[in-house]
Amino acid sequence: RFSLGNIEETQKTIELMIKNRVLVSNILHPREIFSTQEKIFPNPYSNQIRFSKEELDTYMREQFNRTHVAARSTEIQLETTNELPTIIKERRSCRQFDMKKHIKFLEFSHFVSTLKQVREEKIYYHYASAG
């Protein structure tokens, strides 16, 4: 946040942001975008993972079977169905929420159950996942 009327402070901050490549005039190469992320979160996987089916399969298996430490002791039995809930099938990008209207647990449960892992021949999800 800038002090009102302090042009010098604002100019120095903007110059610093340009110097540190926070403010840029063109599209950055993905390597430059993610380089700071890799400093904070080192990548434990080989750079060859995208070229090796075995390495990629190992990575996918690890990612699909991971759980959060806090989630290991907590379990909620959700109502399940093979059909996607109407609330999912009829959803729209523009939503209006009525915070005073309560939803039934069954509807909530069906909605949340669409986010679970499905294990058949392989593990998959009903939604797009980057992992």
17-57 residue pLDDT tens: 899 888 888 888 888 887 777 777 778 888 888 899 999 99
Position 128 in a domain: yes
Confidence at residue 130, expressed as pLDDT on a 0 to 100 scale: 59
Computed over every residue of the chain, the mean pLDDT equals 80
Question: pLDDT grade, residue 94 (50/70/90)?
Answer: low
Structure tokens of 87? 């609330």
- Whether pLDDT at 131 is above 60: no
- 79 against 12, higher pLDDT: 12
- Whether pLDDT at 5 is above 70: yes
Among residues 39, 37, 40, 44, the alpha carbon closest in space to that of 58 is found at: 44
Position 32 in a domain: no
Range of 115's domain?
Answer: 76-131
Radius of gyration, CA atoms only, the chain: 23
The tally of domains found in the chain comes to 1
Confidence at residue 54, expressed as pLDDT on a 0 to 100 scale: 92
Position 53 in a domain: no
Indicate if the alpha-carbon torsion angle 71, 77, 81, 84 is positive or negative: negative
Exposure string for 26-54, b = 16+ CB within 10 A, e = fewer: eeeeeeeeeeeeeeeeeeeeeeeeeeeee
Confidence at residue 63, expressed as pLDDT on a 0 to 100 scale: 85
Question: pLDDT grade, residue 15 (50/70/90)?
Answer: very high
Asked if 96 and 67 touch (Cβ cutoff 8 Å), the reply is no
Position 35 in a domain: no
Position 55 in a domain: no
Mean pLDDT of 93-113: 82
